[in-house]
Amino acid sequence: MSSSHFRDSNQPASAGRNPVGSAYSRGMQSEGVTTPKSADSGHQETIVVIDFGSQYSRLIARRIRESSVYCELIPHSAPWEMVESLNPKGVVLSGGPASVYENGAPLAPDWVYESGLPILGICYGMQAMVHQLGGKVAPASRREYGYAELLQDEPSDAIFDGTPESMQVWMSHGDHISELPPGFSTLAHTDNSPIAALGDGNGRLGIQFHPEVVHTPKGRQLIENFLYKICGCSGAWTPGNFVAETVESIRRQVGDGKVICALSGGVDSAVAATLVHRAIGDRLTCIFVNNGLMRHQEPERVQETFEKHMAMNLSYVDASEHFLGALRAVTDPEKKRRIIGEEFINVFEGEASRLGRVDFLAQGTLYPDVIESQVPGDDVSAKIKTHHNVGGLPDHMRMELVEPLRYLFKDEVREVGMELGLPREMIFRQPFPGPGLAIRIIGEITHESLETLREADRILMEEIEANGLYDDLWQSFAVLTNSRSVGVTGDFRTYGNVIAIRAVTSDDAMTADWARIPYDVLARVSNRICNEAPNVNRVVYDITSKPPGTIEWE
């Protein structure tokens, strides 16, 4: 889904080839769930990105994948045993907020330097490499943030191949290299950084700037030089390769077992289900649960779409009253998510019992889901929220998870969907959260609040589509806030609900910018909602980006 219509200069653009990576690159464990380790250990080439906590770490991973090379983010504490099965071709050390000379600053594990793999240190990653290999890092007399002019000292180095000797780069650092490690030389400098790039001639490189951001115009060239000229990557990761390898992996994992898959109507579950169906055919049963928290006429649309386009076993379960009863008087968003997750498990358990023995549960878990749900102490990312697709099953169910999309970003999933031949309206459907409208109603969920929000959301979507904006937005939706507002309708004073409109542009939901929707469209949306949605007399527009906010309100 393109976001170019509303993109400004601060929003990263996705450019070039858009390959995908393996879904079974390493085994992971969830409570109560057995997740398989890779059946194809070593079958792929991987660039390993060691995450030191930079806001750009995920963007590094995206840029590498856009260059047709698979990569994974791993914690700086990851042992070689965890990495070896990925068949690494090189290592990228990300930026980060720490200073390497401080006590407890994160450093790269010893295997990074002992493996003989090419290394690209970016910003803090460069400083960590220098510090660990015998050089010195010190506070800079003047910090360097924003644009800088990079001047090459050794333009013949492979990392700079095809780039001008003077070029614009994006800096973000307060420390600098004061002494080179043994065997290294300076490759480039800026006015404020005498050592802005360095290398040892044996594939160990460091750059003080950020090539992954759009503010470094030649950044993609630098990344591809590292991937292809230094690491020797083949660039073989394409949607077609992914489909073929993933289908074969599912066959090996499932054997002659049966699988159930939760369908939501969104692209993630649809692509996951299609991959599993292609692998095992009728031994897959898809289950669509109407939890009562869906948008206007969505249950009907989902059933029609899947019955029309996908020849799969489909079981429809209307559990709306059951879910609403379980959510009665609940206002805490994390509790809402937990309750909805538990009720889904109960529904699936009942369906699994009805279908006889079921050995596997397929889910459309994505890489951002995994990252945002990391538990504290895992060294990758602080837990932002519990994601509905990431977690465990009760011990007594003992179904093994099939998660073919676990290491893909959203745009990569759409590429796979197109490769599979799924209908465009399904592939480019705006994301909708598993907990549904429950996390778009701030406070208690009631039949009345759901009806108000459904109407407001219906009106918003009608106007977005009527004005040709749908494909330019990552998400657009209404939120029923827990605020009340004094208003006037006719000659009467009202005290009604406040609806918030949220619309964002993004490439993968890891970051997002608020959409610059034309004022006349917002005016029609506001007017219609106040006139047509029950008990609403005020509409506000959310202009918060991610970060600092999340896309959803809860």
How far is Cα 56 from Cα 215, in angstroms, rounded to an integer? 12
Describe the strand order of the beta sheet including 136-152 as a list of residue ranges: 70-75, 46-51, 88-93, 119-122, 204-207, 197-199, 185-189, 136-152, 166-179
Question: pLDDT tier at 191 (50, 70, 90 boundaries)?
Answer: confident
Domain range list for the chain: 46-230, 239-427, 440-541
pLDDT at 438: 94
Query: Both tokens of residue 357?
Result: 């023995």
How far is Cα 127 from Cα 268, in angstroms, rounded to an integer? 39
Find the catalytic residue in 45, 66, 212, 403: 212
CATH 3.30.930.10 fits 440-541, yes or no: no
Would you say residue 36 has pLDDT above 60?
A: no
Find the catalytic residue in 76, 210, 215, 277: 210
How far is Cα 534 from Cα 448, in angstroms, rounded to an integer? 9
The count of residues in the chain is: 554
Query: Both tokens of residue 297?
Result: 């006429």
Q: Let me know if 123 is a catalytic residue.
A: yes
Lowest-pLDDT range, 18-27, 472-481, 484-493?
18-27
Query: Both tokens of residue 537?
Result: 């007399």
How far is Cα 238 from Cα 260, in angstroms, rounded to an integer? 27
Mean pLDDT of 472-499: 87
How far is Cα 227 from Cα 61, in angstroms, rounded to an integer? 12
Find the catalytic residue in 71, 123, 231, 286: 123
Decide the pairing of beta strands 492-505 and 400-402: unpaired
Would you say residue 299 has pLDDT above 70?
A: yes
**Topology alike, domains 46-230 and 239-427:** yes
User: What is the helix (H) or strand (E) element at residue 272, kind and residue range?
Assistant: helix 267-280
Question: pLDDT tier at 236 (50, 70, 90 boundaries)?
Answer: confident
pLDDT in tens, 151-170: 999 777 899 999 999 999 99
Mean pLDDT of 295-322: 84
Would you say residue 404 has pLDDT above 90?
A: yes
Would you say residue 12 has pLDDT above 80?
A: no
Decide the pairing of beta strands 136-152 and 166-179: antiparallel
Decide the pairing of beta strands 88-93 and 400-402: unpaired
Question: pLDDT tier at 428 (50, 70, 90 boundaries)?
Answer: confident
Query: Both tokens of residue 49?
Result: 């990105």
Q: Let me know if 71 is a catalytic residue.
A: no
pLDDT at 198: 96
Q: Does the global pTM surpass 0.85? A: no
Q: Let me know if 212 is a catalytic residue.
A: yes
pLDDT at 387: 42
CATH 3.30.420.40 fits 239-427, yes or no: no
Fold designation for 46-230? Rossmann fold (3.40.50)
Amino acid occupying residue 54:
S
Query: Both tokens of residue 289?
Result: 């649960």
Among residues 400, 543, 516, the alpha carbon closest in space to that of 36 is found at: 400
Mean pLDDT of 365-369: 78
pLDDT at 43: 45
Query: Both tokens of residue 152?
Result: 């090459």
Count the neighbouring beta carbons within 10 Å of the beta carbon of residue 502.
22
Mean pLDDT of 292-318: 84
Q: Where do the DSSP E strands lie in 180-210? A: 185-189, 197-199, 204-207
Residue 431: C-alpha distances to residues 112, 334, 490, 548 (Å): 38, 20, 38, 20
Mean pLDDT of 407-428: 88
Higher pLDDT, 510 or 500: 500
Place of tokens 């369908």: 263
